[in-house]
Structure 1
Amino acid sequence: MAGGRSGLVGRGKNVTFIGVRHHSPACARLVGQTIEALRPAYVLVEGPADFGDRLDELLLGHDLPVAIFSHYRDETRVHASWSPFCAYSPEWVALTTGRAYGAELRFIDLPAWHPAFADRRNRYADAEERYAEVTRRLCRSFAVDNTDTLWDHLFEVADDEGLEERLAAYFDLVRGESSAGPDDAAREAYMARWIRAAAADAGDRPVVVVTGGFHRPALQALAGQEDSGPAPHGTGWPEVPRPPEGAAGGSFLVPYSFQRLDSFTGYQSGMPSPEYYQRLWEGGPEQAASALTETVVTRLRERRQVVSTADLIAARTLTEGLARLRGHHRPARTDLLDGLVAALVTDDLDQPLPWTARGPLAPGAHPAVNEMVTALSGDRVGRLHPGTPAPPLVHDVATELERLKLDQAGTVTVRLTDERGLRRSRALHRLRVLRIPGVERESGPATAAEPVLEERWTLSFGDHRLPALIEAGAYGATLGDAAAAALDERATEAGSAAGRLATVLFDAALCGCVDVSGRIAETIAAGIAGAVDVGDLGRVLSTVLGLWRHDELLGTARSTLFGTVIEGCVTRVLWLVEGIRGGPAPADLTRLHALAATRDALLHAAAPLGLDREAALAVAGRISANAAAPPDLRGAAFGLGWSLGTVVDPVRAVRGAAGPHTLGDWLAGLFALARDEVLAVESSDGAGVLGVLDEMIVALAEDDFLVALPALRQAFEFFPPREREIIAGRLLDRRGLRGSARALLRTAADPLMIAKAKALEANVERLLVAEGLVPRRDPA
């Protein structure tokens, strides 16, 4: 934020400090007038010092807004931030006016990658929380809703006379009641060294310093101290910090937009409603209010809202009346917005008006209010000068899309079965992973199991594509490298959330990046090693195992990365399930599917991947014999050992699972893991599992059967319809009955309801007999 005052730094060193609120037209006017009046030798601006030797690039002649995009990456930290400029940014006016009057220009702040900016996405973010209490008192004193309204009242629509003194008083008050943290202190110490160096070099010529108003009081004090910091090559100028060895980073100019600049869309710096302040900068508050009133009315009419000429006149009249009532010589932004609401919104509003607070626009706002906010936000998008350097990725993508005939807008269909189609698919998926606008997949395989051989994409080109590509250049110089780095970052963010890791893995397969990045493998392996959700791990394992075994289409068959994932998932699933404890409960199908995927991995990938079958069998044996383990896991563990070839006595195991509260869940685990084995051992005399099970169920009392029935039904759902028909046929044979097994499976009502009804009837009969209302039936 802002304030201005001249001060001396050392004997005869004339330095003028102008504290500014970022993106404030009033501060921009003050900066321009001060530089024009002083004709300084140096203009020092709060900006990244490592971009200082590229100021000619920044001043090429772009269409604003633009931003310096800075990125940084090392083994422990990934950081990206922006330093945006629009026509009314005081920093921009300082640079352009300083250049016009022959001043030497310097950026004097620490680079964006520096740890002092670790928590910031934007260099020019106003840290309102640092002085929340003083601004709250000021808002109460001036009877305004928030800091933005207070700022307009004090500076934007007030007279310019005395502006410098008012700004200085405001920021002295703010800084006087606030303390700078270590990050601000490091920045201020560094900026003070630039100020001392410039003052020494300028002699008696003026120096103008333009920084955030919060920093101005501290810089005035620090600039007068002796400089003990190192200077390069014996000069008086501070050394520009460089990224540490092994780190990657850099800065590029990107087109910016008013939408990204607006605090109503989440930008936490500067001013809301950038289109309003652009109009105020260009023509003053009266012209801004008049032009934007017409813009709002036009937008509402385009959306079939009835707005008459009388409504338009009423809006202007109310705006002017509110301005006079609030003591404004000219209408402020909130005068305009409140006047528009009063004239054009006749419905009751369910929530406070968005400009009464700071931050993103809340959902559910009145449609007309949304249009007002959008109109004052504006849709301006910057454009870079054609001679602006771009990161290598921009050129690589252009070349790749032209080579693959993907450089035209429209609908594209690609076949995954031919080599060219696969290359086109991978390029488009890499752009999708990098979140490049205008690349939308309409259809295609959503999972590894889908036999979809074709994709349909819609391509479009707009103003937001180039900024996104430039920013994606932080990931790598080529499309493949950038996509792999982005996937690695997503894998890191996913941590041990196995479900999110599965999505990253499938995207890696679609992008053709499965074995490109060793870091992806390491990151995902670490995430799997810390995963705690057995069901999610099972989904990852099932997906990856299918791709590893069969996928010749996407090129993931026998992938090293997927092999690492399979090994990690098998180890982690077995470790987790052995620690699960619990009594009778509904079978957990997700963990049963996870154990089934583990079985498949041990059956089909043990030899090539070196999976330890013996260790798995040992785990299965311990779980199946552990009475503290849940019944479904004990049954699944027994089935795992059986399916892997262990010699077992299944009949004895089934009898050991007897009990209406546990039998069904135990069988669910068994059938999930060893369904084929259960059917294979059945003999005509019914000596197998199903025959013994038939005997046990028939022997259950009616109440016990009712308890066991839901879990039994769930267990037998692991058999597909054809196999259930075979089982039904064998049950008929055991009873010497003839009939259709298929018909036996097609009951007219839900079997569970039938069983409950039968039990209810038995209870009623018992009560009637007990009360002597009906005679007791002869059991014969």
Structure 2
Amino acid sequence: MATTFVGGRHHSPACARLVAETIEALRPAHVLVEGPVDMNDRLDELLLGHEPPIAVYTYYRDEERSHASWTPFCDYSPEWVALAAGRACGARVRFIDLPAWHPAFTGRGNRYADAEARYTEVTGRLCREFAVDNTDVLWDHLFEVEPADGLADRLTAYFDLLRGEATTEHADVEREAYMASWVRAAQADAGDRPVVVVTGGFHTPALRVLAAGAEPGWPEVPRPPQDAVGASYLVPYSFRRLDAFTGYQSGMPSPEYYQHLWEDGVAGAAEALVASVVGRLRGRRQPVSTADLIAARTLAQGLARLRGHADPSRTDVLDGLVGALVSEDLSQPPPWTVRGPLRPGAHPAVVEMVAALSGDRVGALHPDTPAPPLVAAVTAELLALGLDGSGEVDLDLADDLGLRRGRTLHRLRVLGIVGFDRLAGPTGGGDPVFTERWRLTPSDRRLPALIEAAVHGATLEEAAGAALRGRVEDAPVDRLAEVLFDAALCGVTALSDDVVTALTTRVGAVADVAELGRVLVVVVGLWRYDGLFGTAGSPVLGAVISGAVTRVLWLVEGLHGGPAPADHRRLLALSATRDAVRHAESVLATGRGEAVAVLGRVAADPQAPPDLRGAAFGFCWSLGGGADVVRAVRGMSGPRTIGDWLAGLFAVAREEVLSADAVIMLLDELVHALSEEDFLVALPALRQAFAYFPPAERETIAKRVLVARGTGGSARELLRIDVDPVVVAEGMALEAKVDAVLAREGLA
């Protein structure tokens, strides 16, 4: 009985070749692979004949946590090669790692993520010793471009060194103990035949120790709790999702380059990379001459010899291309010298190099691959509604078919399914727009997105509803209105009692009046007007409105402060609260009388900010509170308060002001009575206050003032002045000061 451990790096062509050669040479009884053990019953599905890259997508949800993760494979993944090579030689092939839903993978979105952060000290020393920039360049130098002779020994020495100095997490201990139990069972079953174990090199040193001896009987496969919801499906994957330069933080970067390295060897990969970069640059109309190309190849060959490579490595080629094609200083280090996504502002040539390294390859599943019910449901729904094509689509939401098509498209949008982009349509509660325009774009990313969205439900309506409920629970309060409007667009008008309770609880805990105002504006609009979307009178919206109104009233009574510029967002909240009391009183826990009483106290509170006092007074006046508006205006007529107080009044009771000639005449009287200095003080706030009136209403006010003064002329022309009123007022004040100085000096 002999067990051979092949520990390598995920998505490494060198390690994949070693795995294939080892299995072919040994023809073992068992090939054990680091991967989800609960997929062993579905290995035939995994080996149907897909076109990598593909991944096993797993989702899981119970009362305590939810989790989603991927187990990706490409042509040169050692695990993928082990499955195929083991099956080809007649070995019993098995995954031996814990399932992706297991708590050992909590917080880990990718099974094959490197443990790199735990051994940065030792890899840093190695990088300094070999004079390379980072771990990826070190790996290429030690393994990918070196001859295959002695590769297994070099890998063993490398990972023994890393594991010897790295910290070990509890999850590693748990996973390695479980994988070792499979190795011991395989050794017992194999007798005198070999066993091959293929895992990440970080685990290999521990497995050699833990797997000593034989232990008859195969380990039990963990099962999720009965109340848990979850499943695993194969999904097409893409090189962009694999690449470290676009955010993937495990395995090898530059997947397109390593695909060529796998297929064509080191020299072939170098030539393919140069050709791809030059082709992309020329396609972008970036000049690349034959001389540039010769210079790039010459530089790459020279760098390879200098660095001890028989053929140019990935970074040899890239550094040669930069030297030949980039004449100015780079604003940031080339991304292949540091790990992570390309940062904004990179040189255009560098951008194209990274794109060439990543590639745009997307995997494809075999037609017989099982898919979650959502995929078939969406396909049938799009076909039935005529939404399975491409191009722009115009919808009439007042038409039943148009509304159904719109809801389907919005459900796909909220699930993040690519290829469905809304170009125009209603933007909020009460928006009087009844048409939409969409752009449909077929995409090879649509199928994986649908499979991944299946975590939410088996039908499009169910999945969108579940996704929206999750957004309601997680959204900050200022985004809550957006989520509820999306629910209306999707036709999801009923939410569970616990979600409604969570909504009202969160609204009731908000400390910012302005945030509540944004919620109320949209929700009250949906409550009042949207019979089209089925939200008018919705009990869910009613619960939100009631909670928000109660909270606003509680908050504003405690707001104190001296004169300050009017807060438009706060005034919008008072206006929305007034609309809620006026139009949705039947669902409010706080009635009209109580609301008027609260804001009556605010209006009379000398410690409250002037804009809030004005809004509170307008609230009471607009709801028939029997307020004496003339007395109130006179009481706030000081130059430092009148403008802000009027801003609050106009924001909430604009219609009432327009219908009260006595108020307009009083305002004209008070403004006219201001001294030039006081007028200059009051003017900015007065301008902000009167901005609450649309142009036509400002013209109406001007007409009334002209008539009252017995002055002729055009009100419209009066409003169309060429000079900023502030400039005029400042000029008048300056003239008054000059006159005063002249009079004092006897020069007037």
TM-score of the two chains, using structure 1 as the length reference: 0.91
Q: Say which of 139, 142, 165 aligns to 1:151.
A: 139
- Listed one character per residue, the Cα deviations across residues 650-709 of structure 1 (whole Å, up to 9, x for unaligned) are 233223324221122112212222233344454xxxxx4444444444443332232122
Question: 1:175 is matched by which residue type in structure 2?
Answer: R
Alignment-derived partner of residue 660 in structure 1? 639
Q: Tell me the distance in 2 between the aligned counterparts of 1:564 and 1:298.
A: 59
Q: Tell me the distance in 2 between the aligned counterparts of 1:450 and 1:626.
A: 36
Q: Tell me the distance in 2 between the aligned counterparts of 1:314 and 1:735.
A: 85
Instruction: State the identity as a percent.
Output: 66
Alignment-derived partner of residue 101 in structure 1? 89
Q: Tell me the distance in 2 between the aligned counterparts of 1:128 and 1:350.
A: 27
Matches within 5 A, 1:268-279: 268-279=249-260
Give the 3 Å change call, closer, same or farther, for CA 551–242 of structure 1 in structure 2: same
Alignment-derived partner of residue 693 in structure 2? 719
Alignment-derived partner of residue 271 in structure 2? 290
Alignment-derived partner of residue 39 in structure 2? 51
SS of the residue 1:458 aligns to: strand
- Name structure 2 gaps, 5 residues minimum: none
Q: Tell me the distance in 2 between the aligned counterparts of 1:164 and 1:254.
A: 32
SS of the residue 2:380 aligns to: helix
Alignment-derived partner of residue 404 in structure 2? 423
Q: Tell me the distance in 2 between the aligned counterparts of 1:483 and 1:643.
A: 40
Shift of 1:138: 0.4
Alignment-derived partner of residue 187 in structure 2? 199
Kept after mapping to 1: 8 A contact 2:318/2:353: yes
Alignment-derived partner of residue 438 in structure 2? 457
* 1:321 matches 2:295: no
Alignment-derived partner of residue 489 in structure 1? 470
Q: Tell me the distance in 2 between the aligned counterparts of 1:303 and 1:576.
A: 57
Q: Say which of 493, 508, 513 aligns to 1:534.
A: 513
Kept after mapping to 2: 8 A contact 1:487/1:520: no
Kept after mapping to 2: 8 A contact 1:541/1:569: yes
- Listed one character per residue, the Cα deviations across residues 171-196 of structure 1 (whole Å, up to 9, x for unaligned) are 11111111112222222222222223
Alignment-derived partner of residue 217 in structure 1? 205
Alignment-derived partner of residue 437 in structure 1? 418
Shift of 1:745: 4.1
Give the 3 Å change call, closer, same or farther, for CA 283–732 of structure 1 in structure 2: closer
Q: Tell me the distance in 1 between the aligned counterparts of 2:390 and 2:676.
A: 69
Kept after mapping to 1: 8 A contact 2:489/2:533: yes
Kept after mapping to 2: 8 A contact 1:484/1:517: no
Q: Say which of 627, 635, 638 aligns to 2:606.
A: 627
Question: 1:22 is matched by which residue type in structure 2?
Answer: H
SS of the residue 1:184 aligns to: helix
Q: Tell me the distance in 1 between the aligned counterparts of 2:485 and 2:213.
A: 58
Alignment-derived partner of residue 126 in structure 2? 138
Q: Tell me the distance in 2 between the aligned counterparts of 1:303 and 1:656.
A: 69
- Listed one character per residue, the Cα deviations across residues 88-119 of structure 1 (whole Å, up to 9, x for unaligned) are 10111111111112222222222222232222
Q: Say which of 304, 307, 312 aligns to 2:288.
A: 307
Q: Say which of 378, 387, 398 aligns to 2:368.
A: 387
SS of the residue 1:188 aligns to: helix
Q: Say which of 106, 110, 113 aligns to 2:101.
A: 113
Q: Tell me the distance in 2 between the aligned counterparts of 1:194 and 1:244.
A: 23
Kept after mapping to 2: 8 A contact 1:61/1:385: yes
Alignment-derived partner of residue 7 in structure 1? none
- Listed one character per residue, the Cα deviations across residues 706-741 of structure 1 (whole Å, up to 9, x for unaligned) are 212222232233334454445445545555556655
Matches within 5 A, 1:9-24: 14-24=2-12
Q: Say which of 537, 560, 565 aligns to 2:544.
A: 565
Q: Tell me the distance in 1 between the aligned counterparts of 2:291 and 2:657.
A: 83
Give the 3 Å change call, closer, same or farther, for CA 177–680 of structure 1 in structure 2: same
* 1:92 matches 2:80: yes
Q: Tell me the distance in 2 between the aligned counterparts of 1:225 and 1:635.
A: 84
Q: Say which of 443, 447, 451 aligns to 1:466.
A: 447
Give the 3 Å change call, closer, same or farther, for CA 689–312 of structure 1 in structure 2: closer
* 1:253 matches 2:237: no
Q: Say which of 355, 366, 371 aligns to 1:374.
A: 355
SS of the residue 1:473 aligns to: helix
23-32 vs 594-603, greater mean Cα deviation: 23-32
SS of the residue 1:317 aligns to: helix
Q: Tell me the distance in 2 between the aligned counterparts of 1:510 and 1:168.
A: 58
Matches within 5 A, 1:559-708: 559-609=538-588, 611-682=590-661, 688-708=662-682
Give the 3 Å change call, closer, same or farther, for CA 677–154 of structure 1 in structure 2: same
Considering only aligned residues, what root-mean-square deviation do their CA atoms show, in Å?
Answer: 2.4
Alignment-derived partner of residue 5 in structure 1? none
Question: 1:447 is matched by which residue type in structure 2?
Answer: G
SS of the residue 2:632 aligns to: helix
Kept after mapping to 1: 8 A contact 2:288/2:325: yes
Q: Tell me the distance in 2 between the aligned counterparts of 1:473 and 1:680.
A: 57
Shift of 1:516: 5.4
Give the 3 Å change call, closer, same or farther, for CA 191–592 of structure 1 in structure 2: same
Give the 3 Å change call, closer, same or farther, for CA 226–674 of structure 1 in structure 2: farther
700-709 vs 264-273, greater mean Cα deviation: 700-709
Alignment-derived partner of residue 175 in structure 1? 163
Kept after mapping to 1: 8 A contact 2:546/2:587: no
Question: 1:419 is matched by which residue type in structure 2?
Answer: D
Kept after mapping to 2: 8 A contact 1:66/1:85: yes
- Name structure 1 gaps, 5 residues minimum: 1-12, 228-234, 683-687, 776-780
